[in-house]
Amino acid sequence: TQLLEQSPQFLSIQEGENLTVYCNSSSVFSSLQWYRQEPGEGPVLLVTVVTGGEVKKLKRLTFQFGDARKDSSLHITAAQTGDTGLYLCAGAIRSARQLTFGSGTQLTVLP
Amino acid sequence: ETGVTQSPTHLIKTRGQQVTLRCSSQSGHNTVSWYQQALGQGPQFIFQYYREEENGRGNFPPRFSGLQFPNYSSELNVNALELDDSALYLCASTLTSGANVLTFGAGSRLTVL
């Protein structure tokens, strides 16, 4: 069974601050995805990383895939209130039909 | 291009009852997956359907079953509902079989009393 642990579980910060969310596993994944989910909505894909050590930037968001493809991080610079939401990491194994999701990090950005 | 639509958005059932949830895939997507998301948790994979057949299943009992129709729409059926079945049920479609890039619907919120 592949498990993904996310930390922190809850994060409340002021607008303009920086933050990092972590996603760790003992399993190796062929790719890892990050989603954001808002209340009453399904998760929306932010990024997919597939190569160990890969770093992807999406405006103020920076995603990193660990060298061993077991962990990942999401860094947000100068957080805005619109960044509020549940951030989920999800790992895929090439032979599998499913994504394995972490339990999520609930981010609240205060004005 | 329409996204993934699910119905109903909310419903309340009692223990022992049966429920059917429906999903229309995004146009052009032939694979649909269902996930269960309990409150405060990440989604958990229930099963995937491709070309009207189940081709992957998570750790869920047989009372969770599904169907995919020729137009790629799908149903999730849950028999003998239990209190722990209370959750958000998410449908996601993809272009091809596999984990790939999922497009999720907004979900059906099931409450079992």
pLDDT, residue B23, reads: 97
- Give the closest-approach CA distance of A37 to chain B in angstroms: 10
| CB within 8 Å: A90 and B104 | no
Per the listing, tokens 């449908």 go with B91
Determine phi and psi for B13, rounding to 5 degrees. -130, 165
Cβ-Cβ contacts under 8 Å, A96 against chain B = 56, 99
pLDDT, residue B99, reads: 52
Nearest to B91, CA basis, from B38, B31, B19: B31
Cβ-Cβ contacts under 8 Å, B48 against chain A = 97-98
| CB A71, CB A29: distance < 8 Å | no
CA distance A5 to A84: 20
pLDDT mean over A33-45: 94
pLDDT, residue A9, reads: 95
Q: What is the percent of chain A with per-residue pLDDT over 70, rounded to a whole number?
A: 97
CA distance B67 to B49: 8
Residue B1 predicted with pLDDT over 60: no
Structure confidence by residue, pLDDT tens digits, A57-110: 999 999 999 999 999 999 999 999 999 999 999 998 876 778 999 999 999 999
Mean pLDDT, all residues of chain B: 92
| Nearest residue in chain B measured CA to CA from A88 | B42
Structure confidence by residue, pLDDT tens digits, B65-108: 999 999 889 999 999 999 999 999 999 998 765 556 789 999 99
CA distance A28 to A102: 14
pLDDT mean over B6-33: 94
| Nearest residue in chain A measured CA to CA from B9 | A40
CA distance A26 to A28: 7
Tell me, what DSSP letter sits at residue A86?
A: E
Cβ-Cβ contacts under 8 Å, B40 against chain A = 103-104
Cβ-Cβ contacts under 8 Å, A92 against chain B = 99-100
CA B62 to mean position of chain CA atoms = 14
Answer positive or negative: Cα dihedral of B53, B58, B62, B66. Answer: negative
Answer positive or negative: Cα dihedral of A36, A89, A92, B9. Answer: negative
| CB within 8 Å: B56 and A4 | no
Tell me, what DSSP letter sits at residue B26?
A: P
